[in-house]
Structure 1
């Protein structure tokens, strides 16, 4: 066989292989075929709800997806009710939900049979910090005032938008421990989301509330019925929170960050994960997102699926130690 004929034969053999490769690449391309169920595992008004509605709006306004992201609230159990529903929908590429530390903390406390490892990590998006709020006419002018009041009267109630042993409770208990109190000195009152917690604060049903700084920022405009007395960030934040002193400024050596991201149903197909990873990465680069992020006081902290999954595993180890130290670890 001549060199020319050999080359021709190799070329002909390569054609079917190229066709297979092209077909495989086409098969790997995926896009939603119907609206995406985008679940906030709590009532409207809290951090999960804010993340879901904000990201859904930006994706729509920026024209990043052809299908609608339908915000759905599924409250109960600090997220456990929603997680149980989502866990039963294995492999569904059209179901996403907002996630933050409770996806790790609630199961560790023994109040959910499902944890982060039962779901598909999509992307971590932002981080936020805890903030302590009191009513505008409260006698507590600073975080140290509140700490001293709790020291004298451990029965004082502090509300939060997550279940006992979950994010807000741990954030408050950790701060109290750093301030020299016992974790058990915190009379924590759980509500179904930060919005409900703030409603009860304004109604005088609790002395203070701990919640996410981002979700509280919209409530802290001039003339507000609530006032912030401390934020768990390592340094002061911007916008309407610029005048809120950090815990460390008030002599309490403690910080606590609240990451937020998106997860999917169990065993979501890899091509769907790749689609959503790319979608959210694109969203973070838009002007619409920058405007919303700055207004809410969020900080970009993107991680793709694989990195986010490893981060969640690390968080579980850290939170497990903290819960054990505070006597809040479930059996």
Structure 2
């Protein structure tokens, strides 16, 4: 019996990224119809034979989140009913990840619910990147390959010559300390943190800073930004404490109109992000780095039953 062939399909959430992934690994993007009926219901048809094939479905659950999630679930079901050998869902950005615990009475754990839906639809494996919290991997009853965007960010930071004794990596909140510590260790830099107080879902008041940023280049690191409130308040605080420059490295930028307005204030010299979801710079200092090669290499290794551990390493480390 011959080994299963490799097939890559995508929904409508981030087709350019899927095309870049396919270009990087030298396989054509699979032909599938993914559209909607006039009443809003999603419709999927896979337009080629995938019986016995190793199928990868690329789909971020970004805005409109619920619509793209339904597309993903229906594509998984279509592939399963078409007798695919294995179905791996490639989710560069996993939505609902911030709803990962019961932090108040009578609320759901939606990150777990979404994981259940993906497994129930027929997925055999998950490939994702920079989850909001590591424990979400345990919400799935199937294997999860969790990548980090840090190697991509590291290469960019190296190119702009930020890596030096003068650089300090800062977490804009307490929850991001583990991620910031990993970046600081990787780059041989000092570590800092902002203690913040959230006043509403869209408003954050930065209160104090732990660490010395005076006369230093600051790199803020975070996994998600939507309104840029946390980043802007942290950046403003860095400026007030004498930082020479402030850049932000954010894995997933779901930039709302409020975020663009805040970025125009100029507190951040550069927002460095990835194309895990579509991002429009709109003339602002936003640098979008591609994670296509990273995800493409992971897809090849999964397909060939090889370890993905090497993808966590950065050149020279």
TM-score (norm 1): 0.33
Higher relative contact order (CA 8 A, sep 6+): 1
Higher percent of residues as helix: 1
Question: TM-score scaled to structure 2, two decimals?
Answer: 0.34
Structure with max Cα Rg: 1
